[in-house]
Chain A
Amino acid sequence: MPIEAEPVSAAAESLAVEHPLPARRQWRQRSEAALIRGAQAGSEADLEELFRRHWRRAYRTAFLIVHDHAAAEDIAQEAFLSAIRTLHRFDRRRQFAPWLGRIVANRAIDWTRARTARREVDRDLPDGPAPAELAGGYSDDLLRALATLTPEHRAVVVLRYVLEYTPGEIAKALELPRGTVNSRLRRALDALDAQLREVELT
């Protein structure tokens, strides 16, 4: 579609859908190592199971960091394609999710930084839906609050509470000292809390 006609409200479904995540027990009928082994041996069914287990969280992670659904889809897709390309080398003793999460988070941070730079030269290019344009008070609040954080702080919060990484896993994924992760997490939560309270007051 031409640029001038590009809708910017496609993300209007927002984050507001409140179906609970499938319980992890339901997702883990076969071990991840078995699925990876199967995928490495050429089983498309095992690859699909692996993909289904991780897609939504990967996409969600990217979206919460970049706040652009199209970019988030690209980032998550590219992370999976990258995973496919190197699947045959993947050590099955490692966990797949942290590896994928690290790729997604780092790409999302890079994208957000690049977009910031791009705004200086591409004033005519839509930057995707701004948080304020998202429908739904709940998700609007949350996205507005997240938008006040730096991408690095957003990534730490998202990895901790969406992907449920431990601070140690986040430190490893983002190649940061654990103390830095903890301090970013604390500052991010303080900022989010302040932002959300402000919203409640207004």
Chain B
Amino acid sequence: MSARDRTIADRLRTARAPDEAETERRAWELVRSAYAEQPAAPRSRLRIRLALVPVVAVLAGVLALTPAGAAVHRWIEQTLGVRHARAALFSLPAPGRILVSGPGGAWTVAADGAKRRLGPWRQATWSPHAEYVAVAGGNELTAVDIHGTTRWSIARPRVRFPQWFAPNGYRIAYLSGTTLRVIAGDSTSDRPLAGGVAPVAPAWRPGYPYQLAYVDAGGAVAVRDAGTGKLAFALPEQSMPRLLSWSTDGQRLLVLTRDAAIVYTGAGRTVARRTFGPGQAALDAALSPNGRTVALLGARDLTLIDLAAHPGPARQVFSGQGLRQVAWSPDGHWLLVSWPAADQWIFIHATGTPRIIAVSRIAQQFTPAGSRPAFPELDGWCCTSSGGSG
């Protein structure tokens, strides 16, 4: 190497990018979180035998969901997964359609169990009436109908988290890199709304055209009018918000952070807060369509918090090792819990008569023939007549 080349090389080697320590801290939080959410690694035969030592999966206190006084607790001991699970998804226990995506592509599931693969997309969201799906794929945002036919697409760098406004479907919000953008449902008028936002799915406020909640790079939640750009209100900075979810009437906003789940009114006042102890962070959460119950999913259990009482009592309704996501049915009566470690979906009747339906071989059912089975992500359970989705 010549002296000239050596000089340039030395200057490059000793260079530092901006904020390296801070970016490292942020990135590690994300990486650690993603790692914790990973399904268990494929095991060797020896490990499979060891796994037969019962790993307890518990359906606990589903009866406790019924009115107070019927406090009968039922515990079902399982190996990994619920026993007597159905071998296929023959039907959904509640009206609506489910949308999933993952390495096997984006799929829809109708109420009668009919599955349809839309295409090779890894992230998808329903339109308010489940007639279209917006999908993100690399550097492209695409709208497809439920048959998988592309209606339009637009190239933008690093598209993520498309979200369709309900109930009219006239706007889609999405992230392009760290820029929050909004595009009309017919692909016109694409424009940026905010820059420097955190990698968290934005959330439209139902019934309030067109208020959009998002998380900025500092961890503060802002609700901004997508038409005027005017700030409706902002919440204080949180420790790593990772999920925003509105009730279908737009009156309550759930913010899930690394340390807590907090429910706010539509004016930004705190309604309820549940702080997690060390190692107890929730992986996912869902606000019931009526905004009265929060479903909190940890890696090992599902807990429901009733917001009608203050402070809301917490009730553990299901336990199992390696749970990942939770979603409400559009009618608010059922919960769907995804359980990659057991390769199962668990439907839990959360109101009225307690009931549980488990479906096995989920990965295989959402993977095209010839591909390696991969467990899909839940992207939504849609829709009520008003366009809300669970």
A binds B: yes
Contact string against B for A residues 52-65, beta-carbon threshold 8 Å, 1 for contact and 0 otherwise: 10011001100110
Contact check: which of A21, A39, A72, A124 meets B17 at CB < 8 Å? Answer: A72
Q: How far is the CB of B342 from chain A (nearest CB, A)?
A: 17
Number of A-B contacts (CB under 8 A): 169
Contact check: which of B8, B17, B30, B229 meets A81 at CB < 8 Å? Answer: B30
For window 154-180 of chain A, which residues contact chain B by CB distance below 8 Å? Answer: 157-158, 160-162, 164
Q: Which residue of A lies closest to B22 (CB)?
A: A73
B84 at interface, CB cutoff 8 A: no
**Chain A residues whose C-beta falls within 8 Å of the C-beta of B284 in the assembled complex:** none
CA distance A80 to B31 in the complex (A): 7
A192 at interface, CB cutoff 8 A: yes
Q: Which residue of B lies closest to A158 (CB)?
A: B12
User: Interface residues of A, CB < 8 Å — how many?
Assistant: 70
B258 at interface, CB cutoff 8 A: no
B16 at interface, CB cutoff 8 A: yes
A198 at interface, CB cutoff 8 A: no
Contact between A73 and B23 (Cβ–Cβ < 8 Å)?
A: yes
Contact between A63 and B17 (Cβ–Cβ < 8 Å)?
A: yes
Contact check: which of B9, B19, B27, B194 meets A77 at CB < 8 Å? Answer: B27
Q: Size class of B's contact patch?
A: 35 or more
**Chain B residues whose C-beta falls within 8 Å of the C-beta of A161 in the assembled complex:** 8-9, 12-13
Q: Which residue of B lies closest to A8 (CB)?
A: B195
For window 38-90 of chain B, which residues contact chain A by CB distance below 8 Å? Answer: 38, 40-42
Residue in B18, B194, B217 with the greatest tally of chain A CB atoms within 10 Å: B18
Give residues in A with beta carbon < 8 Å to B: 1-4, 6, 10-21, 39-42, 44, 47-48, 51-52, 55-56, 59-60, 63-64, 69-74, 76-78, 80-81, 84-85, 87-88, 110-111, 114-115, 117-118, 122, 124-126, 138-139, 142, 157-158, 160-162, 164, 189, 192-193, 196
Other than the known A13-B19, A56-B16, A114-B156, what 4 A-B pairs have Cβ atoms closer than 8 Å? A6-B194, A41-B41, A69-B19, A196-B8
